[in-house]
Chain A
Amino acid sequence: MDALLFLTFAGIAVLCAINLILQTHPISSALSLVGVMGALAVLYLLLGGAFIAAVQLIVYAGAVMVLFLFVIMLLNAQAERTTSKPAIRAWVSVPLLFTFVILLASLIIQRAPAGAAVRFGEFTGGSVANVGRALFTTYLLPFEITSILILIAILGAIVLARKEI
């Protein structure tokens, strides 16, 4: 059952990710990305991260991606026009990427802890209480600094969005 769920949602994630780079229209790409995020949220649930799954949906899918859609619609972005250029680039990039992913996967398989397996329900340390406790004790300083980061981001966005620039 675990494996089936994993394969289903991993498949959805990979398909959506491929769709993300194949679609020419940014809206389609954005919605594919939402699909990836949703699938990943389910995988997080399988990994015992209930809170992080919910946050993935609320923050990523519900806020960040809406922002993307927003901007795409605001700018009325159109589908990319095809050009003659990509042919050469693809000849270089595709093998490069294949090397990259194969190297990465082989390294992972070579070094992954032997026998480490994921069974649903074996780890329940990702509940809201646990995350909250870690966030407000061990990681209090980073957490507070994060708030400053967000403040700066808001200010930056406001400054950039002014008419004069």
Chain B
Amino acid sequence: MPAEITQLLPAAVPLSWYLVLSAILFTLGVAGFLFRRNIITVFMSIELMLNAVNLTFVAFSYHLKQVDGHIFSFFVMVVAAAEATVGLAIILTVFKNRATLEIDEVSSMKL
């Protein structure tokens, strides 16, 4: 590896980099939620936000030298899986009833 690059970069990654990365990913998730109109994509944006949060958990787990953060992200994954199951089933039902995946067309509670 060229010496210049090695000198340019810190020997160890500051914790805040991870946290800022997480913040950026989270914001991108929010942006996806706000800009995309396809329900499935919106749903995926939520998954992105969850992933961003998981990164913070794991990063703090490293910082505190405790395994608890991993457990929390594990639970987040489980919840995400359950959420995906039910959410996708709902999307299927919505599509069956309204023949659309546009989120703005699903703005009323009744048909």
Contact = CB atoms under 8 A, between A and B. Distances in A.
A67 B88 contact: yes
B70 to A, nearest CB: 5
Given A30-B44, A48-B62, A75 B92 contact: yes
Nearest to A109: B16
- The winner among A17, A44, A154 for most chain B CB atoms within 10 A is A17
A97 B38 contact: no
Q: Which 7 A-B pairs have the closest CB atoms?
A: A153-B82, A117-B12, A3-B9, A160-B89, A112-B16, A116-B15, A21-B32
A126 to B, nearest CB: 5
Given A52-B74, A126-B70, A4 B15 contact: no
Interface residues of B, number: 75
- The winner among A4, A51, A56, A108 for most chain B CB atoms within 10 A is A108
A47 B47 contact: no
Interface string B30-66: 1110111110110111011001001100110111011
Interface of A: 1-4, 6-7, 10, 13-14, 17-18, 20-21, 26, 29-30, 33, 36-37, 40, 43-44, 46-49, 51-52, 55-56, 59-60, 63-64, 67-68, 71-72, 74-75, 77, 80, 83, 86, 89-90, 93, 97, 100-101, 104-105, 108-109, 112-113, 116-119, 122-123, 125-126, 130-131, 134-135, 138-139, 142, 146, 149-150, 152-154, 156-157, 160-161, 165
Contacts of B20: 105, 108-109
B30 A160 contact: no
B71 interface: yes
Contacts, number: 249
Contacts of A86: 35
Q: Tell me what chain A mostly uses at the interface: helix, strand, loop, or mixed.
A: helix
Interface of B: 1, 5, 9-21, 23-32, 34-38, 40-41, 43-45, 47-48, 51, 54-55, 58-59, 61-63, 65-68, 70-71, 73-75, 77-86, 88-93, 95-97, 101-102
